[in-house]
Amino acid sequence: MAQNNSLLDYFGAPLGRAALVSALMASTALVALAPRVVYAQALVINGQQETIKADGTGTVQSGQTVDNLTIGVDQTNSSLTMSGGGSLTSLGTMSVGKNAGSEGVVTISGEGSTLSVSARMNIGDDGEGRLNIGAGGKVLSQFLAMGYFAGSTGVVTVSGARAEMAVNENIVVGFRSHGELAVTDGGAVSAGSLHLSRTGDSSGIVTVSGAYSTLSVGNTLTVGSDAGHGVLQINDGGALSANIVSIGFRTGSSDVATVSGENSTLTVDRSIVVGNTGLAKLEVEAGGAVSTSDIFVGSFARSNGTVTVSGADSTLTATGDFYLGQLTETTPSTGTLTINSGG
């Protein structure tokens, strides 16, 4: 007989910072290797390493639906690994690294392996959280935040052929603290909107790297939504598309977007704003390509925007209007465009 110390809990606030209401079961004696059935209550993994597999050899039964999912409440070394076509659905939230000092890791890989979260995913809620989506794995959610509370860290990696993450509404990389999103080696991510560095003192880094790696944003991408620091990197053949891109969105922010390398592309349907009210840079280099309809560089009150296009075959294309700086006495702004070294 093996002792399983995981808790089964219920969360009463599925869209907020989930609060622990009651522990329904402190321990459960199970036959060794028998998969655990959760019976639609909340699944909490705290200091354990749980697995889900479609063939039933995991420690948690595949195909279940739970109320909420938490990995790492106040312990380190908490993990959930899904592979071999396993699946799990949370009707509410998922928190990875819930409280300060906790660490949680979720890994989804293998063809058909799918994690569905109906509400919010917090990766690095108040602790340290990591979500790894490998080749063939899929994660679906309504909302995703990395580095939710001050002092937390959240990292999401989507890497490998057919690795996929789809978020219907917002992805926030660095909500009140530090967040990172990496899409590499053929991974694919889609979102309604994407925000890097959502509040003051936060920081967010997004990297799209490698052939066939894609990040698709249906509406707005902001690099530096407030007085924090946002970094967007598209390189080595990665591709990002959005409807609107704003770099340096708020006063006090300092943000940069770089498109570097052959076949690396940033495609924007409507407009790119470099320096909304903050300090912003857009760098296109080493064969990278940026295309949009309209572009505004330091064209709004008190903004400072810089665009540099450098290196052979590097291109910046605006099919509509190109605005550079704004001349007013009361709210001056600065816009700079530099083209060199074959750009």
Dump the DSSP string for 77-133. SEEEEEETT-EEEESS-EEES-STT-EEEEEE-STT-EEEEEEEEEESSSSEEEEEE
Among candidate residues 212, 207, 100, the one with its CA nearest the CA of residue 147: 100
Note the pLDDT of residue 22.
31
Helix (H) or strand (E) holding 310: strand 304-310
Q: pTM to 2 decimals?
A: 0.87
DSSP string, 136-157: T-EEEEEEEEES-STT-EEEEE
90-128: per-residue pLDDT in tens? 999 999 999 999 999 999 999 999 999 999 999 999 999
Residues 207-266 pLDDT 10s: 999 999 999 999 999 998 766 789 999 999 999 999 999 998 776 667 899 999 999 999
Predicted confidence (pLDDT) at residue 23 exceeds the cutoff of 60: no
Q: CA-CA distance, 150 to 126, in Å (whole number)?
A: 7
Contacts of 234 (CB under 8 A, 6+ apart): 207, 208, 209, 240, 257, 258, 259, 260, 264, 265, 266, 288
- CA atoms within 13 A of residue 199's CA, in its CB half-sphere: 9
What is the band of 12 on the pLDDT scale with cuts at 50, 70, 90?
very low
Q: Are 54 and 87 in contact (CB under 8 A)?
A: yes
* Res 21 pLDDT > 90: no
**Tokens standing for residue 289:** 């390509």
